[in-house]
């Protein structure tokens, strides 16, 4: 079995970290762009896409900074994370997404994230 690798993607965003965080770390925000339906109970998020469901535990979070999830079906040590950073040069908000994929799947997974983030930007008015 191939070893999955961590990869990161960066997207400049025109909105405040606090507004962006709401779209990344709350069921109502995630439901706007990430999945058809999102619920949370005791730190476990349930996501539904086209009738197919998956669950992710929140591993860690810091208000307006980041949230890290672990899919229930993946191995320990793997996660996906939304991190909000500020460029020191331009003072622009940057969304950094970290995820794991097999090396040959990173390009396809990156394209999927790119599509999802475009939907997020549409919701944010970017």
Four-point Cα dihedral 60, 30, 76, 94, nearest 10: -60
Q: What is the pLDDT of residues 54-100, one digit of tens each?
A: 999 999 999 999 999 999 989 889 999 999 999 888 889 999 999 99
C-alpha–C-alpha distance, residues 96 and 82, integer Å: 6
Distances (CA, A) of 26 to 31, 75, 122: 8, 24, 18
CB-side exposure of 40: number of CA atoms within 13 Å?
Answer: 14
Domains and CATH numbers, the chain: 4-26+59-124 (3.30.530.20)
Q: What is the pLDDT of residues 7-46, one digit of tens each?
A: 999 999 999 999 999 999 999 999 999 999 999 999 899 9
Q: What is the pLDDT of residues 48-61, one digit of tens each?
A: 999 999 999 999 99
DSSP helix/strand/coil, 92: coil
For the chain, the straight-line distance linking the first and the last C-alpha, in angstroms and rounded, comes to: 40
User: Given this model, what pLDDT does residue 2 score?
Assistant: 59
- pTM here is 0.93
**Torsion 58-53-39-25 (CA) sign:** positive
């Amino acid at each position: 079995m191939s070893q999955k690798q961590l990869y990161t993607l960066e997207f400049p965003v025109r909105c405040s970290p606090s507004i962006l965080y709401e779209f990344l770390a709350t069921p109502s925000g995630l439901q706007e762009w990430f999945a058809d339906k999102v619920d949370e109970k005791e730190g476990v998020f349930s996501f539904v896409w086209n009738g197919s469901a998956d669950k992710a535990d929140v591993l860690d979070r810091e208000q307006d900074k980041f949230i890290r999830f672990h899919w229930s079906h993946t191995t320990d040590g793997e996660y996906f994370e939304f991190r909000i950073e500020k460029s020191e040069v331009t003072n622009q908000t940057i969304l950094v997404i970290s995820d794991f994929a097999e090396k040959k799947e990173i390009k396809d997974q990156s394209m999927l994230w790119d599509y999802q983030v475009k939907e997020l930007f549409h919701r944010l008015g970017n």
